[in-house]
Amino acid sequence: MKRVGILVGREKTFPDALINAINERGKGETIAEFMKFGGIRHDAPPQYDLVVDRISHEVPFYRATLKRLALEGTVIINNPFWWSADDKFFNFSLAQKIGVAVPKTVLLPQKDYIPGIVTESLRNLEFPLDWQGIIEYVGLPAILKPFDGGGWKNVSRVNSLEELWSEYDATGTLCMTLQEFINFDQFVRCYCVGQQEVMIMAYDPRKPYLSGEQYIHNPDYLAPKLAERVTKDVRTLCTALGYDLNTVEFAIKDDIPYAIDFMNPAPDAELASVGEFYHNWILSAMTDFIFKRLAEPRTHPRYRWDALLNPEPTRTSAVASGTEQQGRTILPKADSATNPTEAAASTNKPKANAASATFETKAADAGGSKAQINDAPPRGARRAKSETTGKTPSRKRDKNAGAPRSKTTP
């Protein structure tokens, strides 16, 4: 008998339906259940042949447990080693290398740092940042978002350099990216299962979550040639990243699909969110894939990082299956074109009204030089005590600076 463990958070309909589908097809020879575990021994034998992971990105204890199971040969969907090593900025860099169109993106230093990071700790960091050069490269408006986040958290649209400074000042210890705004003509979110099966869904990110208006089933939403390119790009990305379950989002402008988010290894599949058609599709595709993986011969795991991070790819062909052709997606209601993050930002967080500020800090580095720091340098750097002198660097506010910045509530 083979056992499948489901590791979940707050979601309800998808994991329940998946367990029922597996048990029905398994006929007692394969059983699925919610996992239950506490203290994990480092030498304990694995209890599951396969685990579907929906929550370990939020719970380190779960992530460490899944890595332990993977070492014993348990199949984990998705690979906990790659997921732990991944981030969205790397993904954008990778996509550009493998021929997938992406918006111009810049990684920004953190604004604040954990205790113990002081001025000398950041001696390799450029002060001040070339904010004007960054803006000229990315363009305005632009999207500010975490380099490894998800779920539309801490995402904002900025329309000026002053707005960028204001929003950046509220990001705390988050590491952020600034990304080119794509004023899209069409927008799609694509399921990908097993790096092969692709479902293109017309998706309107301007609509509220659980409104029933984000996903609309329209098989003819994309022109055939564009649908073929999107399918190929989805498979290319998921194969390169090693994800067996993922969603890839494209903002389409002038018939060019720009991949704007493709690190979603625990994608939304709730019935009330994605609707009955897409819920049933992802349930069927995942059930098929789970039984396919269970039927594969189990090999002794190779204890090397390259083996753990990069399992053998499936395929990267762009030929759409009959299921994909049948299920292409929906035409959103006509609305003013905007970036998907605009709606999330405008709905969930107030804007701060603050101008830039210039700070001056005396860095006790080897040269004893004075560094002029722009509005957006890390607070940890300018407020930290010198490791060598024990003194707090001085700071003064630019006489042209505006009111104190308000904190952001995403």
- Is 148 among the domain residues? yes
Output DSSP code: residue 192.
E
The answer to whether residues 126 and 270 belong to one domain is no
- Answer yes or no: do 206 and 316 share one domain: yes
Q: Higher model confidence: residue 319 or residue 117?
A: 117
91 domain residue, yes or no: no
From residue 126, give the alpha-carbon distance in Å to each of 7, 109, 171, 372: 43, 9, 19, 10
Domain boundary among 52, 69, 85: 85
Q: Is residue 94 part of a domain?
A: no
Q: How many domains does the chain have?
A: 3
More confident residue, 316 or 262: 262
Are 190 and 228 part of one and the same domain? Answer: yes
- pLDDT above 50 (res 115): yes
Going by the DSSP 8-state scheme, the letter that residue 310 receives in this structure is -
Q: Are residues 271 and 219 in the same domain?
A: yes
Whether residue 308 is found in the same domain as residue 367: no
- Both 233 and 269 in one domain: the answer is yes
* The last residue of a domain, from among 85, 117, 134: 85
Per-residue pLDDT band for 305 (boundaries 50, 70, 90) equals: low
pLDDT in tens, 48-67: 999 999 999 999 999 999 99
Within 13 A of 243's CA, how many CA atoms are on the CB side?
A: 26
The residue out of 337, 360, 392 marking a domain boundary is: 337
- For residue 195, give the CATH number of its domain: 3.30.470.20
In a domain, 98, yes or no: no
CA distance 398 to 410: 28
Whether residue 101 lies inside any domain: the answer is no
Q: Are residues 170 and 216 in the same domain?
A: no
More confident residue, 309 or 205: 205
pLDDT tens digits for 231-283?
A: 999 999 999 999 999 999 999 999 999 999 999 999 999 999 999 999 999 99
Task: For residue 103, tell me if it sits in a domain.
Answer: no
299 and 213 inside one domain? yes
The 3-state DSSP composition of the chain as helix, strand, coil percent (nearest 5) reads 30, 20, 50
pTM of the predicted protein model? 0.75
* Residue 232, pLDDT score: 98
Q: Return the CATH number at 39.
A: 3.40.50.20
Range of the domain at 373: 109-181+347-383
pLDDT on residue 314: 56
Domain presence at residue 402: no
Read off the pLDDT band of 153 (50, 70, 90).
Answer: confident
pLDDT reported for residue 356: 33
3-class DSSP assignment, residue 284: helix
Question: Is residue 135 located within the same domain as residue 278?
Answer: no
pLDDT grade for 375, boundaries at 50, 70 and 90: very low
At residue 355 the predicted structure's pLDDT band, cuts being 50, 70 and 90, is: very low
Q: Does the pLDDT at position 75 exceed 60?
A: yes
Q: Is the peptide bond before 91 cis (omega within 30 degrees of 0)?
A: no
pLDDT of residue 127: 84
Q: Are residues 129 and 259 in the same domain?
A: no
Q: Is residue 342 part of a domain?
A: no
Per-residue pLDDT at 371: 30
Please indicate, yes or no, whether residues 123 and 205 belong to a single structural domain of this protein. Answer: no
Q: Does 231 share its domain with 297?
A: yes
Average pLDDT, rounded, for the chain: 80
Q: Cβ contacts of residue 121 below 8 Å, gap of 6+?
A: 113, 381, 384, 387
| Integer Cα distance of 358 and 370 in angstroms | 13
Confidence of residue 351 (pLDDT cuts 50, 70, 90): very low
